[in-house]
Structure formats: structure tokens, C-alpha cells
């Protein structure tokens, strides 16, 4: 746990939040070993050294770092008195000291969702396709929970109180991520995120060969909330699968209604009125199409 407090009014709620989280994990000492760092107001390097020690000393196959405090605008980086800790800082420590083990990160701060996209960009940079087959093979195993989207501010104490609990039935701590948990934060203008980069997204078992091809990037998979797939048929007839950003979708729809298709990013195309089944499968693997609706328009 990293209690990133500042002197003054924020100190009390940070202490309260950390105490509430500690009490939950104390109920599950069979699975978690708590390391307390009671010091406050320490430097960025102090906490980086603590994380390094956690990695070096951890005897289990998984570690969990939970941060609560201020998030830097536009980055979601963790704020300390002399600087910030970025996802890249954590990633570098992981690669040097913890690679091959699972790391869960809980980031309860404003703009925290940016770290999920930072992780995706890092995996794309390493050429690791968007499936757990690939991350497991490369031994880069992240699971990230954030209290809000990259562009949102987080509300004090909301996410930790709703999303973490001890379950007597499961005999362990559960981090919940469902509509019930998201309801209260959403009413306050924040929408929690969760991505398990270890999850297998193709249709194969862990020991089987992965189905993904080189087009399946984390950028595409993580961007599905901001973009839409449009299936369009023209007069030839020919079919097109277009990728349209959420911001320009209404403009595109207006052009289509007036008979002006416009120029968009064509993902796949071919003759006829229907895309082959293998194209639909590729779209699902690449963009996780099952999680949102596609749109169909016909050029008159």
C-alpha cells in the first residue's frame, strides 16, 4: 500500500482509506502478507525503493500494489512531494525484479485509467499481441484496476469502499468490477476500469497455439470504447468494415444519411453484400466486437 498524502486537509482521508484497506486484507493473511510503511511525506525515490524491495522479497507468485492519492492530470501518474511515479517506472522495476510473476495494480486516483493504455502501448512496443497466450509466453503479467477513465477525476474514498471486500464464502479478498460496483462512482462522474492483460482473448486453451495475427494490437483492443465498427454496403455491391472514432460518429452518420459516405479508415472490404465469416472472426479477435454493437448502413 502506498499512502501518498500531503500535509493538510487530504491527510486524514488518505489515512482513513489506507486503514480501511488494511483491515480488509488482514482478514485474508493466508493469501496476503502485509508490508506497512508508516512513513509519510517521503520522496518519490523512497517509494520506488519500497516497490523494488517488495519485488525482491516477495516469495509468492503474485504481488498487489494499491495506490491512493493524487493523480497527475492527463497521465494518472502517482504524485509525491518531489515528483511522480509513472507506469513506466513500475514497468521497468517489474522487468528487472519481478518478471514472470503476476503484478496487480490498483490505482485509485484521478486520470488513473491512463495507466491501462500505457500498459497496452508498452506491450505493443514489445510486439506482444493482445492475448494472454502472448503475455504469458513473454512472462509479462499485469492486471490493472483504476478508479476512473483517463480523462476523469476520482472521488474521495468511493472506489475502495465499493470495489474491495472480504468474502466469507470465497474465504478471501475480492476486487469486484461489475455494474453494481460501478453504479455509485458513475453517479459521481467516474467510471472504473479493469484490464487483465493475462487473459486469453482468442478461442484456444492455454496450451494451444494462439489464433491472433499481427493486426491484433492492444491499442485496437483497448480503444474499443472510443471507436465503432461500421458495416457498410454500396451499390456495386461491395462491403466495407470501417473504423470510426466516437467523436466523429455523428458526423459520419449525417454524411451517410445524405448519401455522402466520406472517407474513413477501412479495415476490411470485398465484393458482395456480406463479409465472410473469417472477417467477422478477425474483427472480434482484434476489437473484441462482442462487447459493443456494430452499425450497418446502406449507400442508396
Q: pLDDT per residue over 87-127, tens digit each?
A: 999 999 999 999 999 999 989 899 999 999 999 999 999 99
Cα–Cα dist 35/17, whole Å: 16
Cα–Cα dist 233/270, whole Å: 10
Q: Where in the chain is the domain with CATH 3.40.50?
A: 2-219
Low-confidence ranges of the chain (pLDDT < 50): 5-8, 291-294, 297-300
Q: What is the reported pLDDT for 141?
A: 98
Residue pair 243/281 in contact (Cβ under 8 Å)? The answer is no
The fold of the 2-219 domain, in CATH, is Rossmann fold (3.40.50)
Looking only at the bridges linking them, the beta strands covering 141-146 and 193-196 are antiparallel
Crossing angle of the two packed helices 87-97 and 44-57, in degrees rounded to 10: 30
Contacts of 47-50 with C-beta under 8 Å, sequence gap 24+, read: 47/2, 47/4, 47/78, 47/80, 47/85, 48/85, 48/89, 48/93, 50/2
CB count, 10 Å around CB of 91? 18
Q: What is the reported pLDDT for 2?
A: 53
Measuring CA to CA, how many Å separate 79 from each of 10, 109, 266?
13, 10, 41
**DSSP bridge pairs for 229:** 243
Question: Whole-model pTM?
Answer: 0.80
Amino acid at each position: 500500500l502506498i499512502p501518498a498524502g500531503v500535509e493538510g486537509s487530504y491527510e486524514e482521508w488518505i489515512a482513513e482509506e489506507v486503514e480501511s484497506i488494511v483491515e480488509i486484507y488482514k482478514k485474508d493473511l493466508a493469501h496476503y502478507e502485509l508490508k506497512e510503511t508508516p512513513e509519510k511525506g517521503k520522496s518519490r525515490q523512497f517509494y520506488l525503493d519500497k516497490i523494488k524491495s517488495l519485488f525482491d522479497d516477495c516469495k509468492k507468485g503474485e504481488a498487489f500494489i494499491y495506490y491512493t492519492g493524487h493523480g497527475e492530470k492527463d497521465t494518472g501518474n502517482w504524485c509525491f512531494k518531489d515528483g511522480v511515479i509513472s507506469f513506466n517506472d513500475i514497468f521497468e522495476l517489474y522487468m528487472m525484479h519481478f518478471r514472470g510473476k503476476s503484478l496487480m495494480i490498483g490505482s485509485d486516483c484521478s486520470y488513473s485509467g491512463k495507466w491501462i493504455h500505457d500498459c497496452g502501448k508498452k506491450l505493443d512496443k514489445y510486439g506482444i499481441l493482445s492475448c494472454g497466450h502472448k503475455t504469458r509466453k513473454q512472462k509479462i503479467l499485469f492486471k490493472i484496476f483504476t478508479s476512473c477513465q483517463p480523462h476523469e477525476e476520482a472521488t474521495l474514498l468511493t472506489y475502495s469502499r465499493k470495489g474491495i471486500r472480504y468474502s466469507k464464502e470465497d474465504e478471501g479478498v475480492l476486487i469486484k468490477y461489475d455494474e453494481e460496483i460501478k453504479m455509485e462512482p458513475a453517479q459521481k462522474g467516474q467510471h472504473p476500469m479493469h484490464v487483465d492483460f493475462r487473459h486469453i482473448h482468442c478461442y484456444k486453451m492455454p496450451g494451444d497455439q494462439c489464433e491472433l495475427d499481427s493486426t491484433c494490437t492492444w491499442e485496437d483492443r483497448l480503444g474499443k470504447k472510443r471507436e465503432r465498427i461500421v458495416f457498410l454496403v454500396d451499390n456495386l455491391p461491395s462491403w466495407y468494415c470501417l473504423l470510426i472514432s466516437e467523436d466523429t460518429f455523428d458526423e459520419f452518420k449525417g454524411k451517410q444519411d445524405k448519401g455522402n459516405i466520406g472517407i474513413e479508415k477501412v479495415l476490411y472490404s470485398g465484393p458482395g453484400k456480406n463479409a465472410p465469416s473469417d472477417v467477422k472472426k478477425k474483427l472480434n479477435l482484434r476489437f473484441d466486437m462482442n462487447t459493443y454493437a456494430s452499425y450497418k448502413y446502406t449507400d442508396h
